[in-house]
Amino acid sequence: MQFTSLLIPALIAAGTAIACPGEEHGHAHDHHKRAFPSAPLTPPSRPLEWGDFNIIHTTDSHGWLLGHQKTSFPEPNYSGDFGDFASFVTHMKQIALEKDVDLLLIDSGDLHDGTGLSDGFPPGGVDAHESNKFILDLPYDVMAIGNHELYIYANTFDMYTNFVPKLNGRYLSSNVNITVFDQHNNTINVPVGNRFAKFKTRKGRSVTSLGVLYDFTGNDVNTTVQKVEDMVKEAWFAEAIKEEPDVFVLVGHMPVSQDNWPTVFNAVRAVHAHTPIMILGGHSHIRDCVQFDGRSMALESGRYMETVGWMSAKLNHVGTKDNITFTRRYLDPNRVTYEYHTGRGTSASTLSGANYTISQSPFPSNNSLLTLFAAEAMPYALTINNSRAGIQNVMITNSGSQRFDVYSGPFTKNDQLTASPFTDSFLFIPNITFGIASQILPALNNAGADERRRSFALDERERERYSRGDVDMRFMEWLKEMDRRSEGPARRAAGNATLGYVTYDSCPGVGDDVLHTPLPFFDTPDFIGSNNPDVSNDTPIDLVFVDFIEDQLLGILNSVQTAKTYTTADVSSYTDVLADAVLGCTRRSSGTDRRSAIQI
């Protein structure tokens, strides 16, 4: 059974990139079912190891249901769309029946925010309302809420109203509530989903599940997130774990390393010293695995449908206190992988052009997406139909505004919103002398996390960023460490392999399903800016910046000069163009219609 046809209308919805406000494309676009990359894909290195109890795991999919459609590696590794994945799950469920074992399908949150398919709705629409319907077509056994389900109340309410009921008590939000009206029009504070779930598997095993969100502080009004350390002290929590199941399946949008899973694990272990515990985490976008003791395993399965996680356990002798045999595997989601592990099919076409990457190219450089955005796209896009276009300026934004690489091939609205999804606005302060304005960007980066990132320790500022949902620091550190470990002989030994993730975790054995050469990694600054204008230091210019960094920038501005104390009263709107539209702007020059930002 193939599900790919389900996604054809979605491909049309995620069509050609939008122009800047005030501009229109005057031509139609043909939409065809995409072909899969013709670049050879490496098959998995070995079959999956099945146990008595098995789990397929997804997390942080962020709307990546169309698969990765570009032909530059590592993208073909992840070219399977959600229809392919649905078929894979169907076949794996059949194999589980034939083996007479249990197989659960589990997701750890963050269905929202990431692609045109999930977030490309016009004003008034609810992000991911339509794309989440595809997810409901799959037989998920347990799902947990993520922080990206909480940034906008309308999205949370849509989940509560239209998504959660379809999971029949298996969508879990143990420490997350929403404020709604009851039937008498009184406000009530209730869980978005269920606090916990207890159920029996096909083989009759009893399962107790929780759905935990890390200590997130960036949620919208009328939603609440309880600290994990407080959640485990609740009466309902004690009641939920009181009865011993055959296995605890703890699901949550929380990294399996360097976060609060030990708090939850220890609370369960205090009551049940030897019960098997399987933890499925998320949020930090990395492949990771840890074991808190010999009868547990905790797995995290990457991001953006670049990884499908696999965990198995041999639970037939749960009455003993011996260590349990667990396995884990990180699968590249593509048809070759799915065919290898189930026994079915793959194919397709290639395009050439330039790639613009966030960390695979040095900054600044011709192939740096950050250079492209700051030095070329912003100065053009933000001055279109702008009365201040003739005034020299310095433009600054945060590098974290760019969320994904831009690869060769057609640049669609989906690519635009995937690379730069945030709807931040641009502000400015007029009449700042260039001598002062030129100091702002270096000062911002000196105050940033460049040095602290190297130690991986979270100081107060980094903890604040993390608590509000910023995972770039951890993800970039993971990529950097991957590149560092694979220098010299290790990289040469894998020289014939395709680019991709090379995972080093703390669980035994090799976790990656396919051998890859690690992606090259270059450090990037926290803040990026346009090229400085060729003017004298006393020339008044416009200091333009994204609203996301307003407080920080004002603090820096007041530290590099004392002539005036600047406040929000000195700040005005610079343009109607939002950050997510910058890469999609179109330049018309000498009668020729061409992309301003994306020369691919």
Non-local CB neighbours of 514 within 8 Å, separated by 6+ positions: 42, 43, 44, 45, 77, 332, 337, 500
In the chain, the number of structural domains is: 2
User: Is 540 inside any structural domain?
Assistant: yes
Give the closest residue to 171 by CA, choosing from 255, 100, 107, 249.
Answer: 107
Are 315 and 375 in a shared domain? no
Q: Which residues pair with 527 in a beta bridge?
A: 398
- So what's the pLDDT on residue 453? 42
Are 179 and 298 in a shared domain? yes
Q: DSSP per residue over 463-488, as a string? A: HHHHHTT--HHHHHHHHHHHHHHT-T
User: Is 132 inside any structural domain?
Assistant: yes
User: Is 20 inside any structural domain?
Assistant: no
Which helix or strand (DSSP H or E) is residue 342 part of? helix 335-342
Q: Which two tokens stand for residue 376?
A: 């070329």
Q: What are phi and psi of 92, to 5 degrees?
A: -65, -35
- So what's the pLDDT on residue 587? 44
How far are the Cα atoms of 61, 194, 211, 215, 419 from residue 174, in angstroms, in the given order?
A: 21, 7, 5, 12, 32
User: Is 496 inside any structural domain?
Assistant: no
User: Is 122 inside any structural domain?
Assistant: yes
Are 189 and 315 in a shared domain? yes
Are 227 and 265 in a shared domain? yes
Are 382 and 336 in a shared domain? no
Are 310 and 416 in a shared domain? no
Q: Which residues pair with 212 in a beta bridge?
A: 252
Are 376 and 441 in a shared domain? yes
Give the closest residue to 509 by CA, choosing from 311, 277, 307.
Answer: 311
- CA angle 82/118/112 to nearest 5° reads 95
User: Is 265 inside any structural domain?
Assistant: yes
How far are the Cα atoms of 355, 418, 593 from residue 522, in angstroms, in the given order?
A: 15, 21, 34
Are 235 and 318 in a shared domain? yes
Which helix or strand (DSSP H or E) is residue 240 part of? helix 235-242
- So what's the pLDDT on residue 319? 66
Q: Helix crossing, 472-485 with 460-467: angle to 10°?
A: 110
Domain that holds residue 425: 369-468+523-595
* 3-state helix/strand/coil string of 185-228: CCEEEEECCECEEEEECCCCCEEEEEEEECCCCCCCCCEEECCH
Give the closest residue to 508 by CA, choosing from 292, 281, 293, 328.
Answer: 328
Cα 471 from Cα 450, distance rounded (Å): 15
> Per-residue b/e over 361-397, b at no fewer than 16 CB within 10 Å?
bebeeeebbbbbbbbbbbbbbbbbebebeeeebbbbb
Quick check: 23 and 104 in contact, CB under 8 A? Answer: no
Cα 382 from Cα 378, distance rounded (Å): 6
Non-local CB neighbours of 437 within 8 Å, separated by 6+ positions: 394, 541, 543
Non-local CB neighbours of 488 within 8 Å, separated by 6+ positions: none
Are 249 and 378 in a shared domain? no
The DSSP symbol for 584 reads: G
- So what's the pLDDT on residue 316? 74
User: Is 424 inside any structural domain?
Assistant: yes
Are 333 and 259 in a shared domain? yes
- So what's the pLDDT on residue 35? 54
Are 301 and 428 in a shared domain? no
Give the closest residue to 411 by CA, choosing from 58, 70, 105.
Answer: 70
Domain harbouring 421, CATH code: 3.90.780.10
User: Is 364 inside any structural domain?
Assistant: no
- So what's the pLDDT on residue 122? 79
Give the closest residue to 373 by CA, choosing from 527, 570, 242, 268.
Answer: 527
Q: Which residues of the chain have pLDDT under 50?
A: 1-18, 24-33, 345-352, 448-458, 492, 587-600
Domain harbouring 81, CATH code: 3.60.21.10
**435-452, pLDDT tens digit by residue?**
999 999 999 998 644 444
Q: Identify the residue whose tokens are 């220890």.
A: 266
- So what's the pLDDT on residue 301? 98
Quick check: 574 and 394 in contact, CB under 8 A? Answer: no
Give the closest residue to 95 by CA, choosing from 346, 345, 344.
Answer: 344
Strands 499-500 and 586-589: unpaired
Are 165 and 99 in a shared domain? yes
